[in-house]
């Protein structure tokens, strides 16, 4: 017992000396350049007690109204800077982008994403560039998207057919959209569906896979003390790391099995036209060892694609359809455009999308008002720097509040209203895109670490939204009027609806289209 007391006394004394040194050193070296404004932190825990309850993105948006669009907070022992306006986001993600290319340490990357060997959380460097290059060329290039166009159209067709089947029960759109997007990705990446036949039914393996994806997103959004007090990480106070290790093992077992199946198939002379087969073949024939991915990196890349590429697209389409149901005149306008371009004797094709100006405006407005990741994935300052006359400490975590930026009244007219017309010719934002060039709406991020799957995600969201609007009229259950539809947000890493969208699909095309 005496030894334990002695240990803690020594630890407290050492911590006090280090704290005083840091305070004195900080005062001497940063007096001429102040930290950004922000709420006064509490001792030890910093500003953590001030951000409990409501979703973090909305709390930070409210704080920025008081302290300004560039804020400094302290989360435990971690320095945090928040960008909550388009101009400030541009400073970080464009002008100073090279200083904010790596991610801060976090438990999710360590325990789920193969200890930072994936593409999303990997440190900026040669391996990250290789992972991004492989993804960009083999999965998200214009050629790859065109090669896999039929896969996307077929999976959307399966969803449309399932919704057209006679039945009294309304459809729960979120889960069906998740099945569709995951199966389109699955066929592209590993050559097979991951959710049963794609119609909403599933087999035990598919159900487990869906549960694993959902668990990753839930755990990634959970409060984990170890992220803010690194010295306490080993204690795993809330058991988050334990749960992360469990879901990682589920995924690793599944992905290892898929790898072995593909390796056996290739060894027997079989051919598989999917990303995984390409990765394995490229690795076996690459002359440069630096251009080869090991098994862990391949599994980490597949994990990224499944977790990041399904929930975000499905949630965005669900929000888009909910907004159109709430605004019947806009739904009518979108359907009239689709009838004019596509007609009522066939379903929407990927090739129709460039001709659907109003539909594209609906998708842009959905990304603005309901960004799939309301807080961009955190970045870390490699070196201290100056932003707008303020000192940004080395090692500080950068959070870009995408949700706050896209609702900024200084940037948008009537920012809380759903107005697709703002993106049409003659509208206030007619030339704005969502591809990271206009910082007022950056659902995929911006700069060098912009989402590599942006092109596929954007096309999938457009295709699904167009197909659901074109193929069906939508009625809310139990006589609910459009104005009564709940539009509250759920807390999480992605911007999900608090209440899943449930609606009756009424076929509006020629009967033979649904067969």
Rounded Cα distance between 168 and 164, Å, is 11
Rounded Cα distance between 21 and 441, Å, is 42
Half-sphere exposure of 270 (CA within 13 A, CB side): 12
pLDDT in tens, 242-275: 999 999 999 899 899 989 988 888 888 767 678 8
Q: Which pTM was predicted?
A: 0.89
> How much is the pLDDT for 19?
47
Helix ranges (H only) for 76-125 are 86-90, 107-111
**Above 70 in pLDDT, residue 303?**
yes
Which amino acids are annotated as binding site for heme, given as ranges?
Answer: 451
Mean pLDDT of 12-23: 45
Mean pLDDT of 182-207: 76
Residue whose C-alpha is closest to residue 312's, from 463, 174, 119: 174
Rounded Cα distance between 201 and 440, Å, is 40
Which amino acids are annotated as binding site, given as ranges?
Answer: 451
pLDDT in tens, 429-456: 999 999 999 999 999 999 999 999 999 9
pLDDT in tens, 138-148: 889 999 999 99
| Token pair listed for 280 | 């394995």
**Above 70 in pLDDT, residue 100?**
yes
Mean pLDDT of the chain: 88
- Give me the phi and psi of 399, to 5 degrees please: -115, 125
pLDDT in tens, 455-493: 999 999 999 999 999 999 999 998 899 999 999 988 777
Mean pLDDT check: name the lowest of 83-87, 190-194, 327-331: 190-194
Considering the segment(s) 33-514 as one domain, its CATH architecture is: Orthogonal Bundle (1.10)
> How much is the pLDDT for 199?
61
8 Å CB contact between 149 and 459: no
Give the residue, 70 or 294, on which the prediction is more confident: 70
CA end-to-end distance (rounded Å), the chain: 76
Q: Around Cβ 55, how many Cβ atoms within 10 Å?
A: 18
Rounded Cα distance between 401 and 380, Å, is 15
Percent of the chain past pLDDT 90, that is, above it, reads 66
| Token pair listed for 437 | 């060039």
Q: Around Cβ 173, how many Cβ atoms within 10 Å?
A: 24
Mean pLDDT of 33-37: 95
Mean pLDDT of 203-210: 63
57-85 exposure pattern, b = at least 16 Cβ within 10 A, e = fewer: bbbbbebbeebbbbbbbbbbebbbbbbbb
Rounded Cα distance between 237 and 266, Å, is 45
Mean pLDDT check: name the lowest of 99-108, 113-122, 186-195, 359-368: 186-195
> How much is the pLDDT for 201?
54
Mean pLDDT of 286-313: 85
231-269 exposure pattern, b = at least 16 Cβ within 10 A, e = fewer: eebeebeeebbebbeebbeebbebbeebbeebeeebeee
Mean pLDDT check: name the lowest of 157-171, 191-205, 452-466, 500-514: 191-205
**Above 50 in pLDDT, residue 357?**
yes
**pLDDT grade for 204, boundaries at 50, 70 and 90:** low
The strand ranges marked E within 304-453 are 379-380, 385-387, 390-392, 397-400
Measured N-to-C along each axis, helices 295-326 and 275-285 cross at an angle, to the nearest 10 degrees, of 150
- Which residues touch 284 (CB under 8 Å, ≥6 apart)? none
> How much is the pLDDT for 207?
64
Residue whose C-alpha is closest to residue 385's, from 105, 116, 85, 101: 101
Q: Which helix or strand (DSSP H or E) is residue 339 part of?
A: helix 328-341
| Token pair listed for 159 | 């969803």
* Signed CA dihedral, 98, 104, 105, 109: sign only: negative
**pLDDT grade for 202, boundaries at 50, 70 and 90:** low
pLDDT in tens, 358-368: 999 999 999 99
């Amino acid at each position: 017992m005496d030894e334990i007391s002695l240990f803690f006394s020594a630890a407290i004394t050492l911590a006090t000396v280090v704290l005083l040194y840091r305070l004195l050193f900080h005062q001497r070296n940063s007096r001429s350049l102040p930290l950004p404004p922000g709420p006064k932190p509490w001792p030890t825990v910093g500003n953590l007690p001030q951000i409990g309850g409501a979703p973090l993105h909305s709390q930070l948006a409210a704080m920025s109204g008081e302290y300004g669009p560039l804020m400094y907070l302290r989360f435990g022992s971690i320095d945090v800077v928040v960008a909550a306006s388009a101009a400030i986001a541009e400073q970080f993600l464009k002008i100073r982008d090279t200083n904010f290319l790596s991610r801060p340490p976090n438990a999710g990357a360590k325990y789920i994403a193969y200890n930072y060997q994936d593409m999303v959380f990997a440190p900026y460097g040669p391996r990250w560039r290789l992972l991004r290059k492989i993804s960009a060329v083999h999965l998200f290039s214009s050629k790859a998207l065109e090669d896999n166009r039929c896969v996307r159209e077929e999976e959307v067709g399966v969803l449309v057919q399932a919704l057209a089947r006679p039945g009294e029960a309304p459809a729960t759109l979120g889960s069906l959209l998740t099945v569709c997007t995951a199966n389109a990705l699955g066929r592209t990446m590993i050559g097979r569906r991951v959710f049963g036949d794609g119609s909403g039914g599933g087999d035990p393996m598919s159900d487990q896979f869906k549960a694993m994806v959902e668990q990753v997103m839930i755990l990634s959004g959970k409060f984990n003390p170890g992220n803010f007090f690194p010295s306490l990480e080993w204690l795993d106070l809330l058991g988050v790391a334990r749960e992360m290790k469990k879901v990682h093992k589920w995924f690793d077992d599944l992905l290892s099995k898929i790898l072995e199946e593909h390796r056996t198939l290739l060894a027997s002379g079989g051919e598989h036209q999917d990303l995984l087969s390409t990765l394995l073949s490229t690795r076996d024939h690459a002359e440069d060892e630096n251009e080869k991915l090991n098994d862990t990196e391949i599994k980490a890349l597949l994990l990224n694609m499944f977790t990041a590429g399904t929930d975000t697209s499905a949630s965005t389409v669900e929000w888009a359809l909910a907004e159109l149901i709430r605004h019947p005149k806009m739904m009518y306008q979108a359907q009239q455009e689709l009838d004019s371009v596509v007609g009522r004797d066939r379903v929407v094709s990927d090739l129709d999308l460039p001709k659907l100006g109003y539909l594209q405006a609906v998708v842009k407005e959905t990304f603005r008002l309901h960004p799939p990741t309301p807080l961009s994935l955190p970045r870390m300052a490699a070196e201290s720097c100056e932003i707008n006359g303020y000192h940004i400490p080395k090692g500080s975590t950068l959070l870009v509040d995408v949700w706050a930026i896209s609702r900024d009244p200084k940037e948008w007219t009537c920012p809380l209203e759903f107005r697709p017309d703002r993106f049409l010719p003659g509208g206030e934002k007619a030339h704005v895109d969502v591809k990271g060039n206009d910082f007022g709406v950056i659902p995929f991020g911006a700069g060098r670490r912009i989402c590599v799957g942006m092109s596929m995600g954007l096309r999938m969201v457009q295709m699904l939204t167009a197909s659901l609007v074109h193929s069906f009229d939508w009625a809310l259950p139990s006589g609910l009027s459009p104005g009564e539809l709940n539009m509250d947000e759920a807390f999480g890493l992605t911007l999900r609806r608090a209440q899943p969208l449930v609606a009756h699909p009424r076929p509006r095309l020629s009967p033979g289209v649904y067969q």
